[in-house]
């Protein structure tokens, strides 16, 4: 459910569509566009292959403006929340209050990645609700690995530039990054929900880290047989502020 936002103050400034770090984000995945919006989503989108997302098979998803994709329903929630308790299956490279009414827009589509079919979403040069910050650039890629087995796939988060982590209507709650199957399996990148942690130069700067790859700013999760094939750093316990909205 959408809550009423305060009318944003018009901010005059240049939102560049390029990235300051230009290393992790790969080209492609731009055959479709989510028109400029605040808190919007696509209709149901065909991934192009079937994935086994920790016990559930999906071949379609919703691309949500606010830095995530979901499977059972679109998600308009703009104040991010911890992924440990949600019943919404979600993959979120940067769950925060993205506003594309100014600056970059969200693109998505199918392409090839490392010789495999893939579906990707680009949030390139996107601003935050309320403006007043330089833009972020990040990307989600789902890679078909049915060459190994039915439903096998990889999740990839790529980051080139992260200069804001909360919108002006989010009460200071910062971005979360990770995924949840909406039941008993979830993961949050260290720094989720911590003010300033994900920003360039922050304690857990997304552009400076990596996971299961030697490419800085890139985080890969290998899913096989509905489970991960590799160990993850421990997910920090998440404090959920009283009254935080969940769409469950």
Encode pLDDT of 58-86 as tens digits. 999 999 999 999 999 999 999 999 998 89
Confidence check: pLDDT of 186 > 60 = yes
- What pLDDT is recorded for position 235? 56
Q: Are 119 and 100 in contact (CB under 8 A)?
A: no
- What pLDDT is recorded for position 198? 98
- What pLDDT is recorded for position 234? 64
Mark 102-126 as b/e (b = at least 16 C-beta within 10 Å): bbbbbbbbbbebeeebbbbbbbbbb
Confidence check: pLDDT of 241 > 80 = no
């Amino acid at each position: 459910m959408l809550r009423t936002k305060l009318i944003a103050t018009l901010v005059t400034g240049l939102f560049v569509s390029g990235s300051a770090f230009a290393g992790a984000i790969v080209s492609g995945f731009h055959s479709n566009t989510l028109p400029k919006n605040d808190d919007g989503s696509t209709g149901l989108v065909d991934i192009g292959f079937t994935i086994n997302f920790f016990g559930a098979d999906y071949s379609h998803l919703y691309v949500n403006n606010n830095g995530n994709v979901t499977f059972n329903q679109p998600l308009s929630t703009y104040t991010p929340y911890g992924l440990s308790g949600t019943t919404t299956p979600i993959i979120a490279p940067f769950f925060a209050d993205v506003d594309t009414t100014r600056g970059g827009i969200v693109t998505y589509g199918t392409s090839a990645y490392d010789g495999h079919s893939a579906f990707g979403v680009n949030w390139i040069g996107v601003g935050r609700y309320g403006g007043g910050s330089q833009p972020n650039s990040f990307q989600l890629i789902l890679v078909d690995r049915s060459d190994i087995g039915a439903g096998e796939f990889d999740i990839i988060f790529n980051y080139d530039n992260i200069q804001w982590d909360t919108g002006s209507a989010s009460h200071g709650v910062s971005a979360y990054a990770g995924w949840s199957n909406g039941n008993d399996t979830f993961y949050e990148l260290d720094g989720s929900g911590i003010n300033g942690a994900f920003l360039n130069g922050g304690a857990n700067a997304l552009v400076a880290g990596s996971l299961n790859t030697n490419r800085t700013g890139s985080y890969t999760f290998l899913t096989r047989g509905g489970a991960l094939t590799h160990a993850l750093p421990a997910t920090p316990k998440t404090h959920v502020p009283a009254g935080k909205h969940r769409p469950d």
